[in-house]
Every structure is written in structure tokens, then in C-alpha cells.
Amino acid sequence: MIPRPFLVIPVKPSSGSKQRLATALTDSGREMVSLSLAVRVISLASQVWPKGQVVVVSAEPALAPVCARLGVARLPDPGNGQTAAVRSGVCWSLERGGTVVATVAADLPGLRADDLLEVLQTAHGLAAGSMVVYPDRDGSGTNGVVVRPAALLVHSFGPGSQPRHQQIASCLGLEFRALVVPGLGWDLDRPEDLDPSGDLDPHPVVTWALQVSGRTPETVESDG
């Protein structure tokens, strides 16, 4: 059977988002960063992923015209966090014949189209009974998951999700791999996450956030 991979992108509402960045950014600044990063991830996905096989799960009203313009499906967020949002997207994908489901975070400042292409290629080549995760740069969280078959309930996000996903895979007898991709590893949750990651070029809104917080690339380098 030829794999039919779907991509689920959960996005939290920008209002009140990124509370852990409150010491570095204003409310409006956090909202701008959250929404801008989400729009960029969705836009890149629409360029890379097969048409009709991307779904955004979010209660953010500003994303409705964005998704419509990009030809990306959008579902209302059922509430109860990222795991529930992803599972809602998985159900939508299964109804449309999805055999493999991937999900990526919406707050990835250094994400490139090639990173999503790597996820798509992984999805196409994934053997049945397998699970791949893309850890955050601390190695404890999860910024991406690919699983086949799509119907498996493997998603469990939140603190310590990377080892938890590995444990779930072990319990289900799945082949498990953790793949490190810098563009998928750098997410934006804490003030220290505003620091650029390696040779990645941050989204302009994150450069702006660095300047607002007083952490320009030059000061970050001198801190090191």
C-alpha cells in the first residue's frame, strides 16, 4: 500500500500565549511572536506537504483566513491541550484515508522547508509498526512525531514527553527512533529560548523579540 501521510499542526490561541516569556516580552509581543511563527509553519507546510493532507487544529480566529488562503484545512480546538488537539487532527486524517500521521509544533523559529520535507520523506518511508519523534534541543520534549499506522494513540505531549513517547512505543511494540533536526528542535517557550540556535536563522519576529528583550545576537554571543 502506498503511504498516505497527513500533517497535523496544533496551534494555541495567541491571546494569553507564551506565559513563560512574560519576563522578556509584553503581552502584545508574545501574541505577535506566537501568531507569526504559527503562520510561517503553516505556510511552509502548505508548500511542502501534499495538497489536502494538512490540517491545523486551533481556536485562533486570525488563522481562519490564513488557512483558507493557503488551502489548508482547519479544525476547532477541542480544548484539553496539545495532545487532544493532535488526536482531533488524527481522527480527521483517518476519515480521509490517512495511513501515516505526522505532527509538528507551531512555534519553531528556525524551521525550514527542508525540515518539513525531511518529515514528509520519513513519513513516506516509515514501516508499519513504527514511530519517529523529533526532540526539542534539550532532548526532553517533543516537537514532532510520525507514526504508522495513523490510528495508534501514541501522542502524549507536555514536560518529559520525549522519554514518555519512547515508553509508549515500547509498550505497543513499535520500532522507535529519535531524529535530531535543528530546525525542529528549536521551539520557543522560555526566555532562554530566544537565544539563536546554532547556525539557524531565526524568523524576523524572533529577531525583533531578541531586540525587545535586550538580547541581540551580539549580546548572546558575548554571554557565551
Residues 6+ apart with CB under 8 A from 175: 127, 129, 130, 131, 169
At residue 212, the pLDDT reads 66
**pLDDT for the residue numbered 217:** 45
**34 burial via Cβ count (<10 Å: 0-12, 13-18, 19+):** buried
pLDDT of residue 204: 81
pLDDT at 7: 98
> Given this model, what pLDDT does residue 100 score?
98
CATH class of the domain at 5-223: alpha beta
Cell of 42: 503553516
Percent of the chain with pLDDT strictly greater than 90: 71
Give the pLDDT confidence of 68-109 residue by residue, as tens digits. Answer: 999 999 999 999 999 999 999 999 999 999 999 999 999 999
pLDDT value, residue 222: 38
Query: Which residues in the chain come in under a pLDDT of 70?
Result: 197, 210, 212-224
Across all residues in the chain, what is the average pLDDT? 90
